[in-house]
């Protein structure tokens, strides 16, 4: 086998080629610390490994946050629990601890506009991402728009993605009216996740009114059954 030779100036480039980017980027500082503190070869390798693991975890978190598309939100530390006239704090805090994701339960946040439903949903999504979970946060209109593409292959791929993430958050169901085709697309997502993946959903309409959101849709009853079978329904009442 041909021997690979390099000088010290080539080292960072070779480290990049074998995907040790964190080590390559901080090489001079790493070597200076190793010399100053008189590290053994093993200590140097351990520090290299620690830096690489830390950097890859940070990049993975960045990718998962970007994929989730949570956007800006107010943290629950700033949430005034005394503001709503009605809210089940215990259930919400259990969700924020992520106790229910592994159980594939759903959380339905029901209330009028401006009572904090989206804030709670975004906090749950963020906590899940920080815990290493795969998460997607989409409004109902975004989800339906993505699935209404002309390509059957692309639609199937999108459905697989929506079906396999650890947590799917669907925001603002009921704010717009849709046709029966949109209801069928939403049903397909809910059905794929039934007893296999958690959903957080926010809506301003009671389930008995969903026929007004999706007129003439035959899938509404079954979709609601799937959503509510293993679900916590939190009704939030208060002024906007």
Q: Is the pLDDT of residue 1 over 60?
A: no
* Among the listed residues 127, 115, 122, 107, the one whose alpha carbon sits nearest the alpha carbon of residue 234: 107
Residue 43 has what pLDDT? 92
Residues of the chain with CATH 3.40.50.300: 76-236
**Those residues with Cβ within 8 angstroms of residue 34's Cβ, 6 or more apart along the chain or in another chain:** 43, 44, 47
Residue 177 has what pLDDT? 82
Mean pLDDT of 21-47: 91
Residue 90 has what pLDDT? 95
Per-residue DSSP letter, 182: H
Quickly state the pLDDT bin for 6 (edges 50, 70, 90): low
* Among the listed residues 195, 197, 190, the one whose alpha carbon sits nearest the alpha carbon of residue 223: 190
The CA-atom distances, in angstroms, between 130 and each of 36, 57, 78, 113 are: 36, 11, 19, 28
Domain 76-236 has CATH 3.40.50.300: yes
Mean pLDDT of 175-189: 90
Global pTM value? 0.83
**pLDDT tens digits, 190-228:** 999 999 999 999 999 999 999 888 888 899 999 999 999
* Among the listed residues 27, 67, 65, the one whose alpha carbon sits nearest the alpha carbon of residue 47: 27
- CA torsion angle for 106, 110, 114, 118 (degrees, to 10)? 10
């Amino acid at each position: 086998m041909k021997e690979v030779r390099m000088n010290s100036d080539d080292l960072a480039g070779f480290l990049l080629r074998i995907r040790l980017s964190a080590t390559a980027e901080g090489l001079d500082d790493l070597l200076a610390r190793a010399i100053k503190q008189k590290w053994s070869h093993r200590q140097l390798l351990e520090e290299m490994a620690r830096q690489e693991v830390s950097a890859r975890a940070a990049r993975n978190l960045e990718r998962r946050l970007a994929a989730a598309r949570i956007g800006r939100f107010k943290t629950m530390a700033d949430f005034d629990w005394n503001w709503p006239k009605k809210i089940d704090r215990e259930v919400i805090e259990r969700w924020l601890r992520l106790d229910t994701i592994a159980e594939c339960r759903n959380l339905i946040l029901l209330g009028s506009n401006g009572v904090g439903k989206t804030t709670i949903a975004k906090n749950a999504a963020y906590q899940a991402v920080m815990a290493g979970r795969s998460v997607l946060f989409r409004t109902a209109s975004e989800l339906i728009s993505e699935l209404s593409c002309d390509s059957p292959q692309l639609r199937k791929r999108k459905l697989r993605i929506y079906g396999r993430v650890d947590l799917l958050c669907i925001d603002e169901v009921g704010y717009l009216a849709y046709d029966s085709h949109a209801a069928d697309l939403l049903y397909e997502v809910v059905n794929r996740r039934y007893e296999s993946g958690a959903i957080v959903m926010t809506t301003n309409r009671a389930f008995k009114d969903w026929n007004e959101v999706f007129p003439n849709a035959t899938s509404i009853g079954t979709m609601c059954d799937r959503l509510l079978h293993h679900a916590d329904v939190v009704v939030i009442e208060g002024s906007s």
